[in-house]
Each structure stands twice: as C-alpha cells, then as structure tokens.
Amino acid sequence: MRKIILCAVLLLCNIWFIKAEGKQYFGVQVGFTQPITRLNQPVQGQEKTLAPTTYNGLKIGLLYDATLIKGFGYSIGLNYTFAGHQSTWTDVNPNHSTKQEKEKKLYHQLELPVDWQYKFEIAQDFWLMLYTGPTLQFGLDFGGKTYTRPAPNQPAELKPNSVKDYYDNAHALKRINVTWGVGAGIQYERYFIRGGYDFGLINPYKAQMFDEQDIYTRGRFDQWQIKLGMYLWEF
C-alpha cells in the first residue's frame, strides 16, 4: 500500500514540474458517481460470500488541463465526493417475528486524480479525449445507522447503539485509498463531459463475515463516474 501511494505522489510531482507548451485550462466540474465496495472471500473453503455494495452520490471539483505537445498532456483535479447507500427492509428473524431492519450508510471524501490524456481534434473547437491515471483518495467521514420497525408498514425508529463510524473501527476501513482510472470524454470550446471507471488498487475495506467468528474479508473501492464541466480560464 505504501509503495502504491508513493508512486502516485511521485507521478503527481513529476507532472506538476513539466512545462506545458500548448494550451492550458482551469475549470470546474460536477457529476454523478457510483462507488462500489467489492469484498473478497477471506479463507478457502468458506461458502458465505458478500455481494458488492453500490453507493450513489455526487462529485464536485476543480480541474487543470495542460497540453504538452500535439494533443498529448495531463490533467490534475481536486474533487469532493459524497455518496450513500440504503439497504432494503429485511426480517430480523423470519421464523419468530415480523420485526424488520435496514441500514443507511453515507461517506464523504476528497480525491486527487492525476491523468495522462490525449485530445483528438475531430472538428473545429471539438475534441475527443482519452485519459488514464491514478487517483489518491482521502476519507473524511464514513458513517452508518440501522433503523428498525416492529412490522411492515409500521413507523421506523433508530436502533439503539447502532450508529457506526467505520474509520474508528480497526477492522472496517482505512482513510487512504488509491485507484487507477480509464475514461473518455468530449470537449466543445470550453465545455466538456468526462466519464470513466476507477479500479481499486489496494484493499482498504474490511468486513466481518460471521457475527460470532473473528474472520474478516478484505475489499476494494471501485467507482463509476460521469462529470460535466466548463473551463473558466484558458491561457
């Protein structure tokens, strides 16, 4: 994990000191994101598996683009992302009770994407973009709450002692994460749209597989995203 983070930081430093010979842009962007936690099997022979959890959220941020030579260049961003997940109501004990529970999760994080990119000019003031590179993520807050109700269609209440802070749990989640993204986009004059997928490079997430056993599975954060933006300054 330390080596991956170090490589991402070194790549950022190298790009920052490269002198841009072509156009440079500074802009803002906003979009939809869908992070996914993918949990791995902890030990060989265990039959229980954990399905991926999909979150829905928004992403806002800043973007700096620089062209080095003939369409080839780089982009550096600073994004704030928040996303949430809500499970469906499930029976606590289907054989003996109608009581139900569901869980809500919400997390906030900062992201520093560093991408190499190439822009193809396919018409006047119209470009197709391809990009790839790492993103360094830092978690700000990740919490969960469990709600309960005595029966379907009954009022829900917060379950006592159910509020969780996953960063305070040594088995749950680490704040630092690194992903590698690939994506494409289009730019018309100063407006652009970018979409892509980030693959988790490390396993910052842990979850308990069985309530009464100290067996944990590791997992990673992946992420779909699509962003709309505008370059405020060109220089």
Q: Which residues contact 173 (CB under 8 A, 6 or more apart)?
A: 139, 142, 166, 167, 204, 205, 206
Residue 157: both structure tokens together: 């209440």
Nearest to 81 by CA among 114, 64, 106: 106
Provide the strand spans (E) within 40-156: 53-54, 56-69, 72-86, 90-91, 100-123, 126-149
**What residue spans define the domains of the chain?**
2-88+103-143+161-234
Q: Which residues contact 52 (CB under 8 A, 6 or more apart)?
A: 36, 37, 38, 39
Task: Report pLDDT digits (tens) over 151-185.
Answer: 888 888 999 888 888 777 655 678 888 999 999 99
Per the CB < 8 A criterion, the answer to whether 195 and 227 are in contact is yes
Q: What is the model's pLDDT at position 18?
A: 55
pTM for the model: 0.81
What is the CATH T-level fold of the domain 2-88+103-143+161-234, as seen in this structure? Porin (2.40.160)
> 132 or 45, which is more confident?
132
Task: Report pLDDT digits (tens) over 94-126.
Answer: 666 778 899 899 989 999 999 999 999 999 889
Report residue 32's pLDDT band, with 50, 70 and 90 as the boundaries: very high
Identify the H or E element spanning 11.
Answer: helix 2-16
| Residue 174 DSSP SS3 | coil
Is the model's pLDDT at 75 over the cut of 70?
yes
